[in-house]
Structure 1
Amino acid sequence: MINSNKPKIWYGGDYNPDQWEKPVWDEDLRMFKLAGIDVATLNVFAWANNQPNEETYEFGWLDEVMDKLHGDGVGVCLATSTAAHPAWMAKKYPDVLRVDFDGRKRKFGGRHNSCSNSPTYRKYSALMAEKLAERYKNHPALLIWHVSNEYSGYCYCDNCADGFRVWLQERYGSIETVNRVWNASFWGHTFYDWDEIVPPNSLSEEWRGWNGRTATNFQGISLDYCRFQSDSLLECYKLEYAALKKHTPDIPVTTNLMGAFKELDYHKWAKHLDVVSWDNYPSLDTPHSYTAMMHDLMRGLKEGQPFMLMEQTPSQQNWQPYNSLKRPGVMRLWSYQAVARGADTVMFFQLRRSIGACEKYHGAVIEHVGHENTRVFRECAELGSELYKLSDSLLDSRVKAKVAILFDWDNWWAVELSSGPTIALKYVEELHKYYDSLYRANIAVDVIGVDADLSGYDLVLAPVMYMVKPGVAERLERYVENGGSFITTYFSGIVNENDIVTLGGYPGELRKLLGIWSEEIDALLPTQSNQIVMNSSAGWLKESYGCGMLCDLIHSEGAEVVAAYGEDFYKGMPALTVNRFGAGNAWYVATSPEAGFLQEWLPKLCASRGIKPLVASASVGIETSVREKDGVSYLFVLNHNAEVSEVSLGEQSGVDLLTDKSLSGNIELPGRDLRIIKLDA
């Protein structure tokens, strides 16, 4: 429980007093109190202030701010300042500068501009973390450490090339093994010595293909370079983590993640975070179910433990193509969406809006006008008052689900590095189609890794499980054999962990479990489609549904054919199958179906497994979630619509924590409003 020394939902955000004169600090504290702000994230990009040269460290300004905040009852999430190296470092030690995808050496500028394999960066970033830990280890304002900020960015310099070769030696042991797992005999790519291996970029194996997506000649080397770069950045984090823990073993440490961020394998990272934190920046038109899925993904990184909402904007963003204002009520609603799905904090970027550079138009609790008489500040203050009222009632409660979706970064990289079968296949979008159908049905879902324990789930989905890692097929077989229900789709079971095809027919290692084999995979043009025609015995509301993008041409090897294709030369071949396996069953969806199919099929399948919706019925645009603690359930009902919408609680009843009103039966929610209902036992 991260909130033990401040037992309520933390409320605050990024604060940059080093960008302002001291008289502003006192005004900030006055307004923090009005808004209910009780946590401030400090020092995120202050390395240049803290270390003006190689020998000198200056923390006087930070001492003063820490003391002021503590004196006013505001705790500190203290960042290590290492997200952007200072100019003197880049000038004196050019190894700290990255080389980009096109082989160009970067100059000083921007942020996240440090090479993760630079000895200079690793030395001085860890030293900065240690200096901070030594200085503030006993400061009463310190609540949690925030290492760097939004780690990202690959590098292709000589240090990275050397590091990659060492990483490969540790992973594979010999150059012969590397040649085998990469299928290096293709195109005469056999390596004779380690120093012949170079990073895959536009100078060697890769290029920017359709829609800016990276394409590669050799999936094996590119896949391993993704793993290596993710591990390299993680190593930088771990060095700072160790320095902090050396002096503050009882203070939690985190770094802010970014949802489905492709560059980093967050399942690996989460093992080294005391608490997961992440930054949530949906657009005005981002589907609410997608944001919900990102919260569930972040919650699933540490087996359902509560997470931190580290950043969101109070009003608008500055870096999207169209930076819309959050409409009245939306900031509050989206804050509670995070809480509903496991957040124990609500924090913003930023508390006071910057006056210059690229984030001066990014929203803040305190706007450029500088006073509290703004719509945004009033909404923030109202939310702060509500969070104070909720106190610790929700802290450390858990979201429990009987349905899980498997999410795998290695699989994501491999799917989208693959040459073919279609540029339209986007891994996260395909997962979201399935998630969205369950979200609309008000069915709770966990988003977990392929190594997670499956025994607590009645239904497990793995859309586009292209890569099957060692032991995964056996674990899935045991899960289904013991009574579980499993769903996977087209383009699954194709390759092993090195992106080498499993011979003997698709879906490879999943063939026995699914009771099918796939002969060919047809890629449809965007203008083409096919039909999923249901068997008359299936009892569906419709006889057929549209499908497209990819169509597997499969044969049953014991699986029941539930639906067939309706068109083209493979008309009549299976499009949906189910295989009885032990006490459970395994489904195969051989194509990408229209949304209507999933919205009808998945709730029916859940009902057959005894998985119930969280409410009896709800209007479109209603979101539900339940958090549980000490035998008490808290039902969140959020209305994303601008107009009044209805929800039927069925036999459930309880008291709304925000209004203290008793609720039961059918309830109406005003537009962009919510209820947090403590359910009766």
Structure 2
Amino acid sequence: MPDLTTPTRRTRPWPTEGLSYGGDYSPEQWPREVWQEDVRLMGEAGVNLVTLGVFAWSRLEPEPGRFDFAWLDEVMDLLHASGVRVDMATPTAAPPLWLHRAHPEVLPVDADGRRWSQGGRLGWCPSSPVFREHALRVVDALAEHVAGHPALALWHVSNELGGGNARCWCDVSAAAYQRWLAERHGTPEALDAAWGTAFWGHTATSFDQVLPPRSAGADLNPAAVLDFRRFSSDALLEHYLAEREVLERRTPGVPVTTNLMVHAGGAVADYATWAPHVDVVADDHYVVADDPRGWQELSCSADRVRGLAEGRPWLLMEHSTSTVVYQAHNRAKAPGEMLRNSLAHVARGADGALFFQWRASTAGAEQWHSAMVPHAGPDSDRFREVVELGRCLRALAEVQGSVVDRPQVALLVDVPSAWALEGFPLTSQVDPEERPLALHRALSDLGVVVDVVPPAADLRDYRAVVVPALHLVDDAAAEAVADVARRGGHVLVTHLSGIVDETARVRAGGYPGAFRDLLGVRSEELHPLQPGERVGLSDGGSATAWTELVRAVDAEVLVATATGALAGAPALTRRTLPGGGTAWYAATRPDAATERAHLGAFLAAAGVAPLLPDLPDEVEAVRRRGAGGSWLFLLNHGDVDHRVEGARGTDLLTGRHHDAAVVPAGAVVVLREEAGPAA
């Protein structure tokens, strides 16, 4: 396996002038006469970037080794003549039927040993050398052909890697997994020690005895499952890097990315290890239709993507104009919601907003997925909103290249930790995403913008660090968190944090393990609550899902449980360090209002104030700053108008000057601030 730890990111110009706007374009689905209408409508909407060729492998290589680029040339020339730049996708997300017929062994195998059939997407094993050979051949031919075309602005490797083939349990994957384990652990004895294989007597004397964690009729070793998830993420990353190497060789000046999937529902890969290898961090995000405050999940995900980009501008590669097709309950977006969603991503650091897709498909698996041009055509409210969004993004052109003002608070999120917490055996009420999202929402409700970063991020410039259910943590990350408090900063750690090390082995001696000494507490036993069970807290609040038998060893008890089996046990503690820093432990899951109160006290101790005082509920405020000044984004997700005191400047979307901005219901105001507040 190649070196995956040395960053390969390059600095390249942004693919468009101003903010990028457009979406996935699939002209191969339509007759030529539609292409002319497409570019005309793109001009009307202000589109300046489209993703081309995502699912076009069978059109580009209809037979092994025979390539047809004539239609692609025609489309690229047409787009270029219309001022639209191209984000060229490598077509490897959709292998042609001839490849599956000739080489069915490239299809993934599930944990039960069943090989997939053709007909889906991403129908390939990431470790398959046969697939890799065919994939790199078409990528090389495509890159050689389009090199130098004036429309080419960005490369888009495959599509949503892992969104269907996140793991493969075939024998080829097993051999690759064994090599990965040998590189990671060195010796079978070291692997046995890391995994605790003495339990059930599963010790190994050679790596070729170790198979992927397939269905076995019993609970699997969590350390083995975790390592297989890590291996699978690395296998996909290795494939990305193989395609990237071809693209860099053929078109060295063109930036390369791939679309990540940072959103609710769990991660298919550890993107913290991927981000150093993309020239532009790009993300696909779809709001959760069932969540009445889904805009807060959007904000959390956008902050996570910005964290992966280390604060640099990033690209929203996909989102939807309205309905999607894969959620249990899909919902059409209300008037104004699409524009508000798009600008929420821009507020939090995106320098563009692209959709899946340009024109709604009339056939195929995603024929009911919304698009910029809906089935109803351009004479529709949806397309008129698309045109209006294009106008807004052009009005915000001066924002391009600026960054979100550096927050004072960091919230730590780690994908391997979430994987380690999946299926937590003591209670079904543990969701690895619940604590990070709940605390992000509470901080947002308090008007505080945060950076959501992986544990390996540099934490030295933050006043406060929040550690929500960081179940798995290595010694280096735990030490970095402790350093924040030792240098006078402030740390809040929630339950379920620090319990296991990087191999998923429990840290003996009492919970919360790696953070026990920092927090000055020791938990003897975990007491998860039953569904529907609620306990009172001494400050009048209540808690659900979780309690534990905590002893305050060197910490002040701020809140205790007031009812239940553990009445009197600490629920919220604070330890003050010699340098004035503090370390707080939240041992329960409080109700939302109580959690906001606890976080408010923590932020007050840290000296962290909201971006704007008395920000109305359902209004977000985020500031971007650049060489040209500062811009304050105000997004009203509610159904009544709100006046925002302290928001002064000229609204780029309307040209109107505000001394105290009034943000209409469901609308967005973007103020060019006068002189700008101090950084």
TM-score normalised by L of structure 1: 0.94
Q: Which residue of 504, 508, 526 maps to 1:503?
A: 508
Amino acid corresponding to residue 449 of structure 1 in structure 2: P
Indicate whether 1:386 and 2:397 are aligned.
Answer: no
Q: Which residue of 433, 439, 460 maps to 1:428?
A: 433
Distance in 2 between residues matched to 1:629 and 1:554, nearest whole Å:
47
Distance in 1 between residues matched to 2:288 and 2:191, nearest whole Å:
43
Amino acid corresponding to residue 238 of structure 1 in structure 2: L
Q: CA deviation at 1:504?
A: 1.9
Match of 2:5 in 1: none
Distance in 1 between residues matched to 2:177 and 2:100, nearest whole Å:
23
Tell me if structure 1 keeps the 8 A contact 2:402–2:624.
Answer: no
Indicate whether 1:169 and 2:182 are aligned.
Answer: yes
- Residues 404-424 of structure 1 show CA distances to partners (whole Å, capped at 9, x for unaligned) of 100001100111144x22111
What does residue range 18-167 of structure 1 map to in structure 2 within 5 Å?
Answer: 18-152=28-162, 153=165, 154-167=167-180
Tell me if structure 1 keeps the 8 A contact 2:223–2:504.
Answer: yes
Q: Which residue of 16, 26, 44 maps to 1:16?
A: 26
Distance in 2 between residues matched to 1:3 and 1:355, nearest whole Å:
36
- The count of aligned residue pairs is 657
- Residues 454-483 of structure 1 show CA distances to partners (whole Å, capped at 9, x for unaligned) of 011111011112212131222222221111
Q: Which residue of 573, 579, 595 maps to 1:577?
A: 573
Tell me if structure 1 keeps the 8 A contact 2:359–2:374.
Answer: yes
Name the CA shift for 1:64/1:117 in 2 (closer, same or farther; >3 Å). same
Q: Which residue of 619, 622, 633 maps to 2:616?
A: 619
Structure 1: any 5+ residue segments left out of the alignment? Answer: 206-215, 534-542
Match of 1:290 in 2: 297
Q: CA deviation at 1:367?
A: 2.1
Secondary structure class of the residue paired with 1:570:
coil
Match of 1:361 in 2: 368
Match of 2:665 in 1: 671
Q: CA deviation at 1:644?
A: 2.0
Secondary structure class of the residue paired with 2:203:
coil
Distance in 1 between residues matched to 2:595 and 2:105, nearest whole Å:
51
Secondary structure class of the residue paired with 2:648:
strand
Q: Which residue of 189, 198, 219 maps to 1:185?
A: 198
Match of 1:538 in 2: none
Distance in 1 between residues matched to 2:478 and 2:374, nearest whole Å:
54
Distance in 2 between residues matched to 1:174 and 1:251, nearest whole Å:
42
What does residue range 555-574 of structure 1 map to in structure 2 within 5 Å?
Answer: 555-574=551-570
Q: CA deviation at 1:201?
A: 2.4
Indicate whether 1:589 and 2:583 are aligned.
Answer: no
Q: CA deviation at 1:565?
A: 1.4
Indicate whether 1:237 and 2:240 are aligned.
Answer: yes
Indicate whether 1:276 and 2:281 are aligned.
Answer: yes
Tell me if structure 1 keeps the 8 A contact 2:93–2:122.
Answer: yes
Distance in 2 between residues matched to 1:125 and 1:399, nearest whole Å:
41
Tell me if structure 2 keeps the 8 A contact 1:15–1:352.
Answer: yes
Tell me if structure 1 keeps the 8 A contact 2:261–2:267.
Answer: no
- Please say which of residues 518-527 and 5-14 is displaced more in the overlay: 5-14
Distance in 2 between residues matched to 1:367 and 1:489, nearest whole Å:
45
Match of 1:489 in 2: 494
Q: CA deviation at 1:217?
A: 2.5
Distance in 2 between residues matched to 1:165 and 1:5, nearest whole Å:
40
What does residue range 129-528 of structure 1 map to in structure 2 within 5 Å?
Answer: 129-152=139-162, 153=165, 154-203=167-216, 216-260=219-263, 261-286=266-291, 287-370=294-377, 372-418=378-424, 420-528=425-533
Distance in 2 between residues matched to 1:441 and 1:663, nearest whole Å:
24
Q: Which residue of 635, 640, 644 maps to 1:638?
A: 635
Distance in 2 between residues matched to 1:321 and 1:510, nearest whole Å:
39
Structure 2: any 5+ residue segments left out of the alignment? Answer: 1-10
Amino acid corresponding to residue 675 of structure 1 in structure 2: V
Distance in 2 between residues matched to 1:231 and 1:602, nearest whole Å:
36
Secondary structure class of the residue paired with 2:545:
strand
Secondary structure class of the residue paired with 1:576:
strand
Amino acid corresponding to residue 192 of structure 2 in structure 1: N
Tell me if structure 1 keeps the 8 A contact 2:475–2:514.
Answer: no
Q: CA deviation at 1:309?
A: 0.8
Distance in 2 between residues matched to 1:606 and 1:125, nearest whole Å:
51
Distance in 1 between residues matched to 2:60 and 2:400, nearest whole Å:
38
Q: CA deviation at 1:226?
A: 0.3
Match of 1:211 in 2: none
Tell me if structure 1 keeps the 8 A contact 2:87–2:156.
Answer: yes
Q: Which residue of 600, 612, 618 maps to 2:597?
A: 600
Distance in 2 between residues matched to 1:515 and 1:391, nearest whole Å:
50
Q: Which residue of 545, 558, 571 maps to 2:541?
A: 545
Secondary structure class of the residue paired with 1:460:
strand
Amino acid corresponding to residue 433 of structure 2 in structure 1: V
Q: CA deviation at 1:631?
A: 6.7
Distance in 1 between residues matched to 2:511 and 2:326, nearest whole Å:
43
TM-score normalised by L of structure 2: 0.94
Amino acid corresponding to residue 65 of structure 2 in structure 1: E
Match of 1:209 in 2: none
Tell me if structure 2 keeps the 8 A contact 1:292–1:337.
Answer: yes
Secondary structure class of the residue paired with 2:485:
helix
Tell me if structure 1 keeps the 8 A contact 2:447–2:620.
Answer: yes
Tell me if structure 1 keeps the 8 A contact 2:447–2:611.
Answer: yes
Q: CA deviation at 1:319?
A: 2.2
Secondary structure class of the residue paired with 1:427:
coil
Secondary structure class of the residue paired with 1:637:
strand
Name the CA shift for 1:204/1:172 in 2 (closer, same or farther; >3 Å). farther
Q: Which residue of 646, 649, 653 maps to 1:654?
A: 649
- Please say which of residues 262-271 and 602-611 is displaced more in the overlay: 602-611
Amino acid corresponding to residue 635 of structure 2 in structure 1: L
- Please say which of residues 195-204 and 620-629 is displaced more in the overlay: 195-204
Distance in 1 between residues matched to 2:13 and 2:333, nearest whole Å:
28
Tell me if structure 1 keeps the 8 A contact 2:15–2:154.
Answer: no
Amino acid corresponding to residue 575 of structure 1 in structure 2: A
Amino acid corresponding to residue 251 of structure 1 in structure 2: V
**Alpha-carbon RMSD:** 1.6
Name the CA shift for 1:246/1:599 in 2 (closer, same or farther; >3 Å). same
Match of 2:8 in 1: none
Q: CA deviation at 1:4?
A: 4.1
Match of 2:7 in 1: none
Distance in 1 between residues matched to 2:372 and 2:124, nearest whole Å:
31
Amino acid corresponding to residue 501 of structure 2 in structure 1: N
